[in-house]
Amino acid sequence: MKPYLAASVAAFTMLMAGVSGADAAGEVNIYSYRQPELIQPLLDAFTKETGIDTNVLFLDKGLVERIKAEGANSPADIILTVDIARLMEAKEGGVVQPVTGNATINKDIPSSYRDPDGDWFGLTTRGRVVYASKDRVAQNDITYEELADPKWKGKICLRDGQHAYNVALFASMVAHHGADYTEKWLTGLKNNLARKPDGNDRSQAKSIMAGECDIALGNTYYVGLMMTNDQAPEEKEWAKSIKVLFPNAADRGTHVNISGMALARNAPNKENALKLMEFLASGEAQKIYAEQVFEYPVMPGAEPSAIVKSFGPIKPDTLPLIDIAKNRKTASELVDKVGFNEGPSK
């Protein structure tokens, strides 16, 4: 795989090196943390509507470092990311530029999902929910706080505590309750784990079906992806074995994270980049996101897909994303402090 990856990156770099001036008039270059298959339907629709071609470089890490290394000659026009942590990483890394006063984008994306300085914009949300066994969990209501209750001892599965999705949730707990409470809560959650944190969100559903645990934390959209995965029909069985519980539905609401976009600092095709950003914020793109990626559109009035609706209504936590972002460091430190990834105490 390494030679293939190197060749792919080299090919993209060579392609971009040849794109300049008038030659670049019909293109836009995207550096993405989002998996290519998830965003391709959006990009195809954009090209069909505008005639502007799209080039995508997918990275699973190191996006900010790559753009920094490329400097003023970076071909990156737009950055697409999968959570608030990576959006803030791009801003703090100095690889984005503000987009201010854009009436189209500001109309379609609520202020709560936009950076105050215009450095990034949220496109969709997803809930960090509880996957629960249909056979072994009778209750249909739960809170994040309850996950530390000893009644769940040995019954919870989770991916790496330092994964961005979990750190964001833990940061929201810090914002709501403070660091001292969150430390105790993380200790309780750790002691309720069935095993050391491992795998990804989908594999937690697999573990529930296998009887290794009764509940797990996962993002809402993975349930939709599993339910419709014809290439891996076993995932459909994992999805059938669980139900989605929306934590804290009766009080502050369920923690949500975002996917988002930002304009690269040295975008060589800035005009086309802004056109793509306007398209991604539009109702057409929001509908594609909802149907293809099973996330919640941020555009007021836009509806989630029928599959997502089948999970039940979501009441999003109104905690500002900025408050989550500023507590990420504390949350990450607490994960290490309590030895979360070591798994339950014997």
Q: Is 221 annotated as a binding residue?
A: yes
**What's the CA gap between 281 and 283, in Å, rounded?**
7
Within a 13 Å sphere around the CA of 117, how many CA atoms are in the beta-carbon half?
12
Q: Is 113 annotated as a binding residue?
A: no
Enumerate the known binding-site residues.
221-222
Give the annotated binding-site residues for Fe cation. Answer: 221-222
